[in-house]
Structure 1
Amino acid sequence: MIFLKQTIDYFGLLLSIAILLPAVFAWLISYLTNTAGSIISEKFGSHFYLVISSIGVIIHELSHLIMALLFGHHIENFRLLQLPKNGQVGFVTHSANPKNPWQAFGNLLIGFAPMIGNSLTIYLLTRYLQPNVFYLQVSFNWQLLCWLLIVFSLSLGIGLSHEDFENSMQGMWIAILLLIIAALTLQLTHIILIDRLFTFIQQEASLFVIALAIAVIDFLIAKVITFF
């Protein structure tokens, strides 16, 4: 009974780390950034939105593309950036063998890829241009302006579309199975203790809160723009 309870505890923590926590924050961040993008497009036109979000859109689609290639999907067509067409400023169409567990699982990460790609790019850019931001300090110089403009563009491109979320769901059953196996492995080996997983969840949540804060700022900026 104790073995079963602890295995369930491991599974619950792994589920929170790998799926639940990322999914909740992904939805919130996507809602805010996508809404901000819609507001800007309605106010200034889709072409203006394309200009200011171009870097973010390119990294967004490139993240989908790279992840799809890593999981062996067939790339049918893609555009890292294009003039607005049917509401799209970029796309990646790919296909996979549904009987291939590796490719099926890949759908989960392919759909979620922009959250990883755009966030990582923001992190690396900050480390290079404004490292003091991590210590809540700002250096007022030309690098700050570049950093603000590029981060704004990247954050506009971080949001997932409805199709991205749907695509991710296709790999969910494989992910659940892998988490069950991982939970059993951790319970048998105790390579990672439950307390360590709790600590990891706190660190992961902190990173997501920062990303959410950036999304909120995007949303507020878009709202303020509507008054002019």
Structure 2
Amino acid sequence: MIFTALKISIFITLLIIGIFIFFGYIYSVIEKRNTRYIFSTFGNLGILFTGIIGTSIHEIGHLIMCLIFNHKVINFQLFNFKGYKYESTLGYVSHKYNKNSLYQRAGNFFIGIGPIISGTLFMMLSFKLLMPEKFTLLDINYFLLYMNNINIETFTLLLINLFKVVFSALFSIHNLGNIKFYIFVYLMISISTHISLSKKDFENSSIGIFSLFIILFLSSLICVTFNLNNFLSIFINYLLYLFIFLSIGLIFALISLGIVYIVYSIR
């Protein structure tokens, strides 16, 4: 029983960490290129133009996770309007926690990766609100079929199909006369250029990994003991949903990189 719970908790912990390391790294690579092209083309005004929304969403991700995991927020700044030209820190959330609390220590992991969650959810929300007809084309249950037997081939097929749906939905001639489409593109560029995790974010996340594992192990042990396997299945399904949303957010980031690169090349 304990061995089964241990295997389950190790699997889920590695799955969670793997998902966020994978997407965190790719988002970081895309953001660096995006920021370079924007800064080379527009200078500090480009950082201001994208940072007001993007950095704010980034810091809101940290802030919400602090509140969820009961960390005390000492101070925060969603965007540094005064020093964005001269300082490397565009925003911050300062917080502290009770080191004796397993829950609060585990929260460090989610606080660290908070910007990826908030950024992706904001992308999806913007998509749904600004382009609802196109959003309905994303049938999440259809894409979940690919996740039943995930491997490199199905993962590649998943991304290809997601890209086809999103690309055909967005880059349609009917969108050219739609002001909401241009607002949506601006939001995507803003978020994708500020969604990645800093070195400090990764360090903070690593603090909570062991505590996260302990909580998952205890939860798995309870589920195994009382035969509550449905709860484990529901949790894994939520991770699959998160994986798909992160994949869609990644596609938006790649599309915004393409748009920024075209503007950079023209200038």
Contact 2:5–2:220 at 8 Å: present in 1 too? yes
Q: Cα deviations across residues 128-156 of structure 1 (Å, max 9, x unaligned)?
A: 11123331334511111111111221222
Count residues in correspondence: 226
* Residue of structure 2 equivalent to 1:129: 130
Pair 1:40 & 2:38 matched: yes
| Aligned partner of 1:150 among 182, 187, 201 | 187
Alignment of 1:47-86 (within 5 A): 47-82=45-80, 83-84=83-84, 85-86=86-87
Contact 1:55–1:153 at 8 Å: present in 2 too? yes
* Alignment gaps of 5+ in structure 2: 138-164
Aligned-residue offset at 1:164: 0.8
**What is the rounded CA distance, in whole Å, between the counterparts of 1:190 and 1:143 in structure 2?**
49
Alignment of 1:82-121 (within 5 A): 82=80, 83-84=83-84, 85-121=86-122
**What is the rounded CA distance, in whole Å, between the counterparts of 1:59 and 1:199 in structure 2?**
26
**What is the rounded CA distance, in whole Å, between the counterparts of 1:207 and 1:41 in structure 2?**
28
| Aligned partner of 2:9 among 8, 11, 14 | 11
TM-score of the aligned structures, taking structure 1 as reference length: 0.84
**What is the rounded CA distance, in whole Å, between the counterparts of 1:220 and 1:195 in structure 2?**
38
* Residue of structure 2 equivalent to 1:21: 19
Contact 1:17–1:204 at 8 Å: present in 2 too? no
**What is the rounded CA distance, in whole Å, between the counterparts of 2:209 and 2:226 in structure 1?**
25
Aligned-residue offset at 1:55: 0.7
* Residue of structure 2 equivalent to 1:163: 200
Q: Percent identity?
A: 25
Moved >6 Å (runs of 4+): 194-198
Paired amino acid for 1:52: T
SS at match of 1:24: helix
**What is the rounded CA distance, in whole Å, between the counterparts of 2:87 and 2:202 in structure 1?**
19
Alpha-carbon RMSD across the aligned residues, in angstroms, is 2.6
- Change beyond 3 A, Cα 1:7–1:145: same
* Alignment gaps of 5+ in structure 1: none
Pair 1:213 & 2:213 matched: no
Aligned-residue offset at 1:167: 0.9
- Change beyond 3 A, Cα 1:46–1:192: farther
**What is the rounded CA distance, in whole Å, between the counterparts of 1:126 and 1:42 in structure 2?**
28
TM-score of the aligned structures, taking structure 2 as reference length: 0.73
SS at match of 1:77: strand
